Structure 1
Amino acid sequence: MGAFTRALRALVLLAGFYLIGLVLLALLGLGDWALATSGHHGIGVIRLLILSVVLAVPLVRGLALVRTPPGEGPHGVELTPEAQPRLWELVRALAEEAGTRAPARVLLTADVNAAVSERARLLGLVPGPRALYLGLPLLQGLTEAQLRGVLAHELGHYSHADTRLSGLTSRVREQVGRTVAHLRGESGDGETRKRNVLHRWLAKLYIGYGTLVLRVTLQDARRQEFAADRLAARLAGRTATASALRELPALESSFAYYLDRYALAGSDRGLLPPRGEVFGGYGRLLDARQLELVHMRTELPDEPASPYDSHPPLAARVRRIEELPEDGRTDEGRAAAFALLDAPERVLAALEDAVLKAPPSGTWTRAADWPDLLTRSMDARLGDQDAPLPRALLREKGTAGLPTLLSVIEEGRLWDLARHLPASAEARAAKGRARQAMLRPLLREQLHRMVLADFSVRGRLRWEFSWEGPHAAVLTGDGGAPLVAGPEGREDGGPAVEAAIEAALADRPDTRPLRALCALGDGPQTPKDGLV
């Protein structure tokens, strides 16, 4: 099937989406007209007319959803040719080699992704201005040669003969996919589903047709990805293109970890790293943990992310590229892609301003440095009395400290207290040892937290920041000497804390190791401000 035929088929499928809604609206209109001219009056007729209006609402919304919302696209910072001449020189050179128009705009985003868009008219038949979206984590984690492969792949979506009308097919897939995803969420569950039986039926009709559209165009979309990969290998080299794809799972996983454990660790308290470090620190993490990322580059997924994912499995894409003939381009572009940016400090700060929403307090507070961010965010987190176990203690005993919990354990009432903890329906229905086994992991995690909070409130907890591994929670005694930390120091305080907690939560609980450990930290320290 040729490119023009595939594009025409996509148009017909999209027209079918509109046709479903228009036919159903016409039937509802005919029904209303028949009722209005029948000469019958009464509450039954009024109810039927109201029902037709209620049914028309999701139909109209379904038609509106198929349109592309204005302004859709990721948030980011525009990189102008004047501010970033070297990056633009690379983009324009690749576009020329690919035989396509260069984008009019390049936007830096905070996503582990690169993408291109085109504001075309008539569903892509009339060309429009193009934009390139480039994720900062890619610049931080890829070499120049690997970045060339990523950019060449994206530009290949416009240039390859097999994909010259792929913008139309891609747009149909995006619009239908967005509609299907929205209607799936709108179908509701529980009581909502009971109240919206007719809405659910209409949603299923749209979802069924939309799923058909996605299935029909799926093969074309994956062909286009393979074609763009081949072009990228030709322009950037086989080795660089394959290795760039291998980096993606490692970058996605490590960036999510970095945001959770480092950059946004204090965001719930309105606390951020120093300016420019929210995204800048990710480069330090990558430098420190290269060995941990090695296995992620070799263990690639063999299945698509979903049955309707437009991209083939990553392992299949890499395999096809590596099967291409040797091109002798293994030593090119080994410098870090991040070095292409001029004035990177200003770019990092501008990206923070563009993508970070204001906290509930209205303004962000900046930590002095990374260790300061860790200490302040962890102290605030440990002092939060709204965690499940402290909340249950407050409900039952009126106080939420560790001594109160140890007394509850010694009285044999821990599992009575555990009924107030959030649990799955399966755990709530279970009895005896089965229920305890399901709740024990939550209790273990919550007791860890309460032990660290107890030391923190007495000024006996010190946090040691690390890029190379987990931050260490160091429990201290008189004079600040470590009690249980050392090379094995971890976020949970170390093996001694783990062993004491396991003893307290055993089938025959023994709180003596935990009481003894906490007693080592006793002293005339003044509680830290903000902890209760």
Structure 2
Amino acid sequence: MGATLRAVRALVLLAGFYLLGVVLLAVLVGIDWLLYRYAPASLAAKLYLVSVLLAIPVVRSLFMLRTPREEETAGLPATEADEPELWRTVRELAEQVGTRAPSRILLTADVNAAVAEDARLLGLLPGPRRLYLGVPLLQGLSEAQLRAVLAHELGHYSNSDTRLAALTVRGRAQVLRTITHFEQRADKSAAREQARQEKKNAKAEAKGKQAKEVDPGHAGVTYRMMAKIYITYAKLYFRATLSVSRRQEYAADAAAARIAGRDATAAALREIPVLDASFGFYMNCYATLGSGSELLPPRGEVFGGFGRMLSARQLELAGMRTELPTEPSSPYDSHPPIADRVRRIEELPDDGRADEARGAALDLLSDAQNTLVALEDVALTDDVRRFSRTRDWQELLDRTMAESFGSGSTSLHRAYVMYTKDQPTLPALLKLIEDGQLWQLAKRLPLSDEAAAANGRAFREFVRPTLHRSLISMALAELNARSLLRWEFSWERSAIPHLPPAPDGTETDLAEVVAPAVADAPDTAPLRALLANDSQHRGAL
């Protein structure tokens, strides 16, 4: 479908949104006229108010004439003076694609690359262009793979995708904003009704009467009905534009393969889902490791550590590259499944360009370390940037673990407080176990209905895994407090706790040490022996 036909279809769909609003207003006016003619005045007055409230979001949507401007993605401006090699590459690729180069390049903290254009007159006239380039992509791709990604994005410019996107984006935004207005009003109505019923119940209970079940389900039903009408149109709108959007992605892939090479393009498509999953894992398990303690790694390492993790886990990542997503992320995802895109590229004839530009994409930056430092200032919130910085990742791990184990937040801690009313400590718990009270204590743990109904051995089997996990946490906290525990930071696997060695000099398995303490006939001797390993703490229990 050519640019003209795409523009016409986008205009028709946008006009359909406004036509829907006019029809709904006409229906409301017609209902009001019927009420005026045939309904009692008292009932008509109430329903007039309802129709006015329903009409407000519709009217507002009809007068939202400007294309909504999305909030610009937070990014680090990469000027041509600062990043000449990156700009040279982008300009060279733009020339090969046959399009105008972007006006600005912004480096972001996302595993993504994207282009945007501030087109005028609903996309009929071109405007300033922006290229968003995720630094995590630079950390994980080769230069050839990055060239393929850039050629793909620039291909959207050459096909007028970014210019005509203004029409499509405007229609989608208008529909979604109208739906949001109705749903918000429905939620407010439900909240008011719930508050009214709860207040009524409180008065009834104060008079000794039985409270009724709170059910605000009928509140806001007219708003939700109006929202469903627009949701139906939104589904039609998204599906009508979906096929074109996906064809645009295939065309951009073909441009990338032509310019950057078949193998580099296919490899980039395989790599991006791997990098996306890896970056999510990295942020959850490494970069935000100390967030609960308001700690950050050294400057530049919040994002810089991602490259270190990728290097350390190459074997693990290799297997992920063969497991490509075969379905889109949602029914309305504008991108076709990665597996389908890779298949189409790999079916192209061999172009003999497999060995081009094998260097790291990050080398295109003039000073990668300074970029990683500066990126933190634009990607992190003000509150996060105020966190304390550690000297290195090992200190971040040590301080985080010390605070985590000192919090005493396991279910066993809470059960001990309920059972004894005392502060939970491992020595006190061991004494309680030795006094034969472990299974009475276990009854204070959060239990399933099946576990709560069990007795004897069946009950012990239900609660033993929870007891075992919680006792390991308490033991680690005690060892950490006594400086008998050392944590080993690793990019290749989870943090490894190193405990005092066993009497025979072998590495201690804490799970095996704790297991006897939660056996049917509890034995705390192995755990006490471990705690007494260091001479300065012997006899402390």
Correspondence for 2:10: 10
Residue 51 (structure 1) shift: 2.6
Q: Is the 8 A contact 2:250 2:341 kept in 1?
A: yes
- The one-letter code of the counterpart of 1:417 is R
Between the aligned partners of 1:17 and 1:502, the Cα distance in structure 2 is 65
RMSD: 3.7
Classify the secondary structure of the residue corresponding to 1:224: helix
Residue aligning to 2:141? 142
* Contact kept? 1:150, 1:244, Cα under 8 Å: yes
Further displaced range: 13-22 or 387-396: 387-396
Q: What residue in structure 2 maps to residue 70 of structure 1? A: 69
The answer to whether 1:378 aligns with 2:398 is: no
Residues 88-103 of structure 1 aligned to structure 2 (within 5 Å):
88-103=87-102
Q: How big is the shift at 1:213?
A: 1.3
Residue 123 of structure 1 is matched in structure 2 by: 122
Structure 2: how far apart are the matches of 1:180 and 1:440?
53
Structure 2 vs 1, CA of residues 267 and 182 (structure 1 numbering), >3 Å: closer, same or farther? farther
Q: Summarize the Cα distance change of 1:385–1:166 in structure 2 as closer, same or farther, 3 Å threshold.
A: same
- Cα distance change, pair 484–238 in 1 and its aligned pair in 2 (3 A): farther
**Per the alignment, in what secondary structure is the counterpart of residue 154 of structure 1?**
helix
1:71/1:210 CA distance change after superposition, 3 Å? closer
Contact 1:66 1:178 in 2 (8 A): no
Give the Cα–Cα distance (whole angstroms) in 1 for the partners of residues 521 and 346 of structure 2.
Answer: 57
Counterparts of 1:199 and 1:486 in 2: how far apart (Å)?
71
Report the Cα distance in structure 1 between the residues aligned to 2:442 and 2:22, rounded to whole angstroms.
Answer: 59
User: Where do 1:462-477 residues align within 5 Å?
Assistant: 462-476=486-500
2:413 is matched with: 390
User: Unmatched 5+ residue regions in structure 1?
Assistant: 421-426, 477-481, 489-493, 527-532
Is 1:169–1:217's contact at 8 Å kept on the other side of the alignment?
no
CA distances 1:459-493 after superposition (whole Å, capped 9, x unpaired): 222111122322211123xxxxx4599998xxxxx
Structure 2 Cα separation of the partners of residues 61 and 401 of structure 1 = 61
Aligned counterpart for 2:388 among listed residues 330, 346, 365: 365
1:196 and 2:223 correspond = no
* SS of aligned partner of 1:121: coil
Deviates more, 1:21-30 or 1:77-86: 21-30
Which residue number corresponds to residue 308 of structure 2? Answer: 284
Give the Å deviation of 1:257: 1.7
Name whichever of 442-451 and 137-146 sits farther off: 442-451
| Deviations 1:232-283, CA, capped at 9 Å, x for gaps | 0001000111101111122112212222222210022221011111111111
Equivalent positions of 1:49-60 (< 5 A) are 49-59=48-58
Aligned 8 A contact 2:140 2:307 in 1: yes
Aligned to 2:510: 497
CA contact (8 A) 1:166 1:224 kept: no
Shift of the 258–442 alpha-carbon distance from structure 1 to 2, 3 Å rule, reads farther
**C-alpha offsets along residues 412-451 of structure 1, whole Å, 9 cap, x if unaligned?**
135522228xxxxxx5688657999898766655444333
Look up the SS of the partner of 2:157 in the other structure: helix
Tell me which amino acid in the other structure corresponds to 2:98: G
Deviation at residue 342 of structure 1 after TM alignment: 1.1
Match of 2:250 among 203, 226, 242: 226
Q: Once the 2 structures are TM-superposed, how far is the Cα of residue 77 of structure 1 from its aligned partner?
A: 0.8
Opposite residue 69 of structure 2, the aligned amino acid is: P
Q: Residues 57 and 178 of structure 2 are in contact (CA less than 8 Å); yes or no, is this contact kept in structure 1?
A: no
- Residue 512 of structure 1 corresponds to 524
Which residue pairs with 2:153 in the alignment? Answer: 154
1:293/1:517 CA distance change after superposition, 3 Å: farther
Shift of the 315–204 alpha-carbon distance from structure 1 to 2, 3 Å rule, reads same
Change (3 A) 1:79 1:40: same
Moved more, 237-246 or 25-34: 25-34
Judge which range, 197-206 or 101-110, deviates more: 197-206
Structure 1 residue 384 displacement after superposition: 2.1
1:12 partner letter: V
Q: Which has the larger radius of gyration?
A: 2
Give TM-score scaled by structure 1 length: 0.83
In structure 2, give the amino acid aligned to 1:499. Answer: E
Structure 2 CA distance for partners of 1:165 and 1:250, relative to 1, 3 Å: same
Which of residues 310, 322, 325 is equivalent to 1:298? 322
Are the equivalent residues in 2 in contact too, given 1:271–1:373 (CA < 8 A)?
yes
**Cα distance 1:240–1:379, how it changes in 2: closer, same or farther (>3 A)?**
same
The question of 1:79 aligning with 2:78 is answered yes
Residue 274 (structure 2) aligns with: 250
**CA gap 1:25/1:458 in 2 versus in 1, 3 angstroms:** farther
- Relative distance call for 1:392 and 1:414 in structure 2 (3 A) is closer
Contact 1:474-1:485 within 8 A present in 2 as well: no
